[in-house]
């Protein structure tokens, strides 16, 4: 979910409140705001993908799209 839509869409994510949730962006900096917003909404296991997708791709890890 794009960060700009997070505030309006957080209710649709409530089923994941007690599960690990990974937030990410291209470089990792913008995702920290989303992480804070989810934590304030009661999500207990929220983490930021360190280095974002750029670091993920640099490690040649898989990326899939729906």
Q: Which residues are catalytic?
A: 25
Q: Name the token pair of 41.
A: 């909404």
Q: Name the token pair of 3.
A: 């960060």
Tell me how far apart the alpha carbons of residues 43 and 28 are, in angstroms, rounded to a whole number: 19
Q: 46 pairs with which residues across the strands?
A: 21
């Amino acid at each position: 979910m794009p960060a700009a839509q997070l505030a309006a869409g957080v209710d649709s994510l409530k089923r994941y409140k007690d599960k690990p949730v990974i937030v990410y962006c291209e470089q990792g900096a913008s995702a920290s705001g989303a992480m804070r917003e989810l934590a304030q909404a009661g999500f207990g296991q929220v983490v930021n993908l360190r280095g974002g997708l750029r670091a993920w791709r640099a490690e040649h890890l898989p990326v899939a799209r729906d």
